[in-house]
Amino acid sequence: MKILFLDQSGKPGGAELCLIDIAKPYRDNCLVGLFADGDFRTLLEKNHIPVQILSTKSIQVRKESSLAQGLASLGQLIPLLAKVVQIAREYDLIYANTQKALVVGAIASFLSGRPLVYHLHDILSPEHFSQTNRRIAVTAANRASLVIANSQASKTAFIEAGGRADITAVVYNGFEPKNYQIDEFMIHQTRQELGLEGKFVVGHFSRLAPWKGQHILIEALRQCHQEVTAVLVGDALFGEQEYVQKLHQQIVTLELENRIKFLGFRSDIPHLMSACDLVAHTSTAAEPFGRVIVEAMLCGKPVIAAKAGGAVELVEHGVNGFLVTPGESQELAQVITTCLKESSKTATIASHARTTASQRFDVTNINQQIADLLAKL
């Protein structure tokens, strides 16, 4: 089966990392078409996955864009669309991995006569998307032969927005467990390099954005013991620098300068997670899946997740992690303190999480689920 994968981003976010794992088994018979250049192209090349940059101009439409803004972008889409249609005729199907890729892929599917698969990595809700963008996404997705949702929460939101239930299946993200097995020497070395020795380290891994809730963790830290330190891994995207400035101001106001480190974007996530004592997920809006939650589990680290969206499907409170009310810093602080004081019980929970996550989200099993779905087309 020859597959044309489409993705709008040149930056490696969660959807893009997922695409790498999905495309690997097809790398001798696939092409990943990107609508922008960047580090994602480099990652694809490192994994020997054929990639082509299909556009040099970014599509100026965001999740909150209006109909007028969407129509204004049509001029940018026409040259890109023509190129995708021409390439698609050489492949058996089009696999759209993001929303902008879906719109282009849906039109290209119609013009080229190739079936369309859409991998839904988002929760189509008012908190995340404008009404116009939700309507466009659902209309385009309903023309697909298959919609793969990354969680039950994503599937439910899609159907509630008008999506077709009969073409939608849930397949969770896949992971390679061995990539998260870091030896003790490397963990010690990482903690030493970051100046974290003797600290109880809470890691937060996501882009810096208001809905990701880094400010919730900072507020919680104020209520924790002095030895509790936080590392924030990630940086701002999509014009969110103002939020970063607010985070720094919050830290100064709460006098936490010596207890929080900003590490920016990093590629060594398993090493950094393994150097933490626990990982906090603090999204204030429902998360479609929660990639960092599973990664923390695979690293053998206890994870505290906001109780909403896909996170609820990944974490069973007190069994393989902890769930807290989104936006409640005091509740988060209490669970962090519990993990600090009850280290033996917390370690048992983390060990159980690692075992179950290694089985449940193994990339080989996940890829087989996707292959079975594609074979039915």
Average pLDDT estimate for 141-168? 97
pLDDT of residue 56: 76
Is pLDDT of 368 > 70?
yes
Instruction: Give me the pLDDT at residue 189, please.
Output: 96
Distance CA 243, CA 303 (A): 24
Given a contact cutoff of 8 angstroms between Cβ atoms, the answer to whether 349 and 319 are in contact is: yes
Whole-number Å distance between alpha carbons of 279 and 231: 10
Inter-helix orientation angle 214-222/329-341, to 10°: 60
Helix (H, G, I), strand (E, B) or coil at 31: strand
Beta-carbon count within 10 A of 60 CB: 11
For position 134, what pLDDT does the model report? 93
Q: What is the dihedral angle through the alpha carbons of 244, 330, 221, 208, rounded to the nearest 10 degrees?
A: -20
Residue-level pLDDT at 68: 47
DSSP string, 333-369: HHHHHHHHH-HHHHHHHHHHHHHHHHHHTBHHHHHHH
The pLDDT of residue 64: 52
Statement: residue 84 has pLDDT above 50: yes
The reply to whether the predicted model has a pTM over 0.75 is yes
Q: Where do we find the tokens 């007190």?
A: 318
Position 254, amino acid? L
Q: At 71, is the pLDDT very low, low, confident or very high (cuts 50, 70, 90)?
A: very low
279-308 tens-digit pLDDT = 999 999 999 999 999 999 999 999 999 999
Residue 5 has pLDDT above 70, yes or no: yes
| pLDDT attached to residue 7 | 97
User: Which whole number is the average pLDDT over 146-174?
Assistant: 97
Q: Which amino acid is at 82?
A: A
Q: How is 252-310 classified by DSSP, letter by letter? A: HHTT-GGGEEEEES-S-HHHHHHTSSEEEE--SS-BSS-HHHHHHHHTT--EEEESSBT
What are the structural domains, with CATH classification, of the chain? 3-174+362-375 (3.40.50.2000), 177-360 (3.40.50.2000)
- Give the distance between the most distant pair of CA atoms in the chain: 62
Residue pLDDT, tens place only, 186-199? 999 999 999 999 99
Residue 352 pLDDT > 90, yes or no? yes
Predicted confidence (pLDDT) at residue 318 exceeds the cutoff of 80: yes
Residue 11 pLDDT grade (very low, low, confident, very high; cuts 50, 70, 90)? confident
Indicate if the pLDDT at residue 241 is higher than 70.
Answer: yes
Q: What's residue 65's pLDDT? A: 45
pLDDT for position 63: 53
As a whole number, the mean pLDDT across the chain is 93
User: Residue 60 above 60 pLDDT?
Assistant: no
Strand order in the sheet with 30-34: 51-53, 30-34, 3-7, 93-96, 116-120, 146-149, 168-170
Instruction: Dump pLDDT digits (tens) for 303-315.
Output: 999 999 999 999 9
In one-letter notation, the amino acid at residue 178 is K
